[in-house]
Amino acid sequence: MVVLKRLFHSSSNLLLASKHTFQLDPNYKFKCGIEIHTQLKTKYKLFSLSKTSFNESPNTNISYFDIGLPGSQPKLNPEALLLALKAAVALDCDISLQSKFDRKHYFYPDQPLGYQITQFYHPLAKEGRLELDKKFDDIRQDSKIIGIEQIQIEQDTGKLNYNKVDNIINIDYNRSNTPLIELVTKPDFEDLLQVRAFVKKYQSLVRHLNICTGDLETGAIRVDVNISVNGFPRIEIKNLSSHSEIQDALKYEYTRQVSLIKQGKQNEIVQETRGWDGDKTTSLRLKENSVEYRYLPDAELPMVNLDESIINDVKQSLSEFPEQILSKLINQPFNLELKYARFFIDNPVVLQYYYDLYDIVTIKNKESVNMVNNWLLHELIGVFTKLDLKLDLDRIPASKLGDLIMFITSKQISTTSARLLLMQMIENKDNFDKSVSELIELYDLGVPTDISPQEFDEAVEEICHGIISDNADVVEKIKHGQKKSIKYLVGLAMRETQGKVNAKTFEDKLQEIINTL
Ligand SMILES: Nc1ncnc2c1ncn2[C@@H]1O[C@H](COP(=O)(O)OP(=O)(O)OP(=O)(O)O)[C@@H](O)[C@H]1O
Ligand SMILES: [Mg+2]
Ligand SMILES: [Mg+2]
């Protein structure tokens, strides 16, 4: 039934009305708490020795236990425990030195054991927090603390694939028994921006801790939201897989509940689980007659006993947190814009590259940090974009980009030539092993060195005179105040010299001659 309902969406006027003009009504208090399922990036599954797999042919990474064959037994993967601990410590939770696993019973074809192993009575961690800060997060208040109720370790299920053409459902058990943590927040969210900011910050954190890919689209992170209005029962909306789905589902559900209250139909708001079909929420099951999960301690899994020292050990193993790094990057000496600092947080390899380049250019060679920022964030990333290539820093190690920058600052190559060269360095695999000076030689891009400065000046002057006499109309415009037209003449000079001379040199010389006319 649920599947059928999900297959046949119909658009709803209620949602359309709410989507475009959405605002919370101060008379109807929005309250929300969320549950986030996070797939842990372990090598093996939670309770078996089959490999975790994310993009493999169906049913190729499964063991007897993953598909619930009788006689097979679970054994806890310590790597999953460690990754879960990292999240719990980073979120300031109280870690339970003794935690246990329980069985949550329900039938569904993606859950062949007939129960899910989770932590119900004694979860790994409780009472944490994540602080949102207006400086870094898109919220209205200066800061907002979201309390974390608990973090528990549990198994993922298999995956049902609906084949609408043949009207069949295929089950892929590759995901079955993949380690997850479920994080449950307190109902602390007061508006939609806070929800978005929290999920974004959490994504950034798990990526930074390297415990999950942090992607919503692939299902590595799945969000359930719970929403209530003016103290009426909470409604849960399960399995939302993008920020826009979360926002749209919350807007729809808030509008629906407010409208029921306004019509005096508040008794129709009952604690229930609803699904989001892209247009509207629909009831999946009522909590009153919801499945009785019959939680029981899992007798096959021993208690997890942690030594007190582990909390400190994990703390020490964590590097700086994203917010500390952001704060560092947007201030002296790096002076990065927040959006670029965020990009680095989500791409730790690029961040390391940035630090390496900074060391070479700024610390070792005392050149400006602006050169580092500009040549990494604009020029280098720009080349990958232009070539329609995925950013692959192996094509140009930081030391090589550093060399190129030093050739520019020492005026051995013009900025224009350096741009051309950078393109060649990245596009052409034959260039990967060649040094910057070899490449300058190869492409004949260096500022001529075999002539004296005086000869060089004379050559520049001659070129400028030639261009000025061939472009009398442009010169007239410049003399009459159209100062920008000089760029056109500079362009001609650069073309003539194939970018070997700096644009600034030409601009100064052209201006100097024009001033005398
Ligand atoms: N009045 C409320 N309004 C909105 N959200 C609420 C309210 N009370 C509790 N919540 C939120 O509901 C969620 C309850 O999650 P929890 O995992 O504890 O239970 P559950 O949803 O009943 O169980 P399951 O994991 O089986 O879905 C929490 O995120 C909590 O913050
Ligand atoms: Mg729930
Ligand atoms: Mg839950």
Q: Residue 195 has what pLDDT?
A: 97
pLDDT in tens, 75-112: 999 999 999 999 999 999 999 999 999 999 988 899 99
- Do the strands 143-155 and 296-297 form a parallel or antiparallel pair, or are they unpaired? unpaired
Q: Residue 291 has what pLDDT?
A: 63
Q: Is the pLDDT of residue 290 over 80?
A: no
12 confidence band (pLDDT: 50, 70, 90): very low
Residue nearest to atom 17 of ligand 1 (CA): 184
Rounded mean pLDDT, 415-442: 91
Among the atoms of ligand 1, which is closest to the Cα of residue 228? 3
Residues in the chain: 517
Q: Is the pLDDT of residue 6 over 70?
A: no
Q: Residue 1 has what pLDDT?
A: 35
Give dist(CA 488, CA 474) in Å, integer.
8
- What is the 79 CA–ligand 1 centroid distance (Å)? 28
Q: Is the pLDDT of residue 8 over 80?
A: no
Ligand nearest to the CA of 226: 1
Among the atoms of ligand 1, which is closest to the Cα of residue 238? 27
Question: Is 146 within 8 Å of 189 (Cβ atoms)?
Answer: yes
Residue 361 DSSP class: I
| C-alpha gyration radius of the chain | 31
Give dist(CA 321, CA 200) in Å, integer.
14
Domain regions of the chain by residue span: 1-30+228-259+271-278, 44-212+291-316, 319-443, 453-516
Q: Is the pLDDT of residue 208 over 80?
A: yes
Q: Residue 321 has what pLDDT?
A: 84
CA distance readout (Å), 324 to 315, 329, 340, 342, 358: 15, 9, 15, 12, 18
Q: Residue 17 has what pLDDT?
A: 44
**Single-letter amino acid code for the residue at 241:** S
Q: Is the pLDDT of residue 224 over 90?
A: yes
Among the atoms of ligand 1, which is closest to the Cα of residue 227? 4
Rounded mean pLDDT, 406-417: 91
Question: Is 76 within 8 Å of 304 (Cβ atoms)?
Answer: yes
pLDDT in tens, 14-54: 444 444 578 899 999 999 999 999 999 999 999 999 999 88
Give dist(CA 46, CA 115) in Å, integer.
15
**Residue 223 pairs with which residues in a beta bridge?**
36, 240
Residue from 35, 157, 222 whose mutation best tests the ligand 1 pocket (most atoms within 8 A of CB): 35
Residue, of 453 and 146, whose pLDDT is higher: 146
pLDDT in tens, 299-319: 999 999 999 999 999 998 887
Residue nearest to atom 23 of ligand 1 (CA): 35
Q: Is 233 in the pocket of ligand 1 (CB under 6 A)?
A: no
Q: Is the pLDDT of residue 9 over 70?
A: no
Mean pLDDT check: name the lowest of 163-172, 394-403, 497-506.
497-506
501 confidence band (pLDDT: 50, 70, 90): confident
Q: Residue 496 has what pLDDT?
A: 82
Residue from 117, 184, 240, 288 whose mutation best tests the ligand 1 pocket (most atoms within 8 A of CB): 184
Give residue for tokens 């094509």. 395
* Options 1.10.3470, 3.30.70, 1.10.10, 1.20.1280; CATH of 453-516: 1.10.10
**6 three-class SS:** helix
How distant is the alpha carbon of residue 41 from its chain centre? 15
Mean pLDDT check: name the lowest of 139-153, 188-202, 444-458, 481-495.
444-458
Residue from 30, 190, 226, 229 whose mutation best tests the ligand 1 pocket (most atoms within 8 A of CB): 226
pLDDT in tens, 139-187: 999 999 999 999 999 999 999 998 888 899 999 999 999 999 999 999 9
Give dist(CA 120, CA 296) in Å, integer.
9
Q: Residue 63 has what pLDDT?
A: 94
Q: Residue 357 has what pLDDT?
A: 97
Give DSSP secondary structure letters for 377-428. Answer: IIIIHHHHHHTT----GGGS-HHHHHHHHHHHHTTSB-HHHHHHHHHHHHH-
189 confidence band (pLDDT: 50, 70, 90): very high
- What is the 318 CA–ligand 3 centroid distance (Å)? 27
Q: Which of 246, 119, 92, 95 is nearest to 179 (CA)?
A: 119
Give residue for tokens 């940035």. 354
Q: Is the pLDDT of residue 11 over 90?
A: no
Q: Residue 334 has what pLDDT?
A: 95
Give Dmax over CA atoms of the chain in angstroms. Answer: 97
Q: Does the model's pTM come out above 0.95?
A: no
Q: Residue 7 has what pLDDT?
A: 32
Q: Is the pLDDT of residue 10 over 70?
A: no
Give dist(CA 218, CA 38) in Å, integer.
11
Residue, of 102 and 500, whose pLDDT is higher: 102
- Which percentage of the chain shows pLDDT scores above 90? 71
Rounded mean pLDDT, 2-14: 38
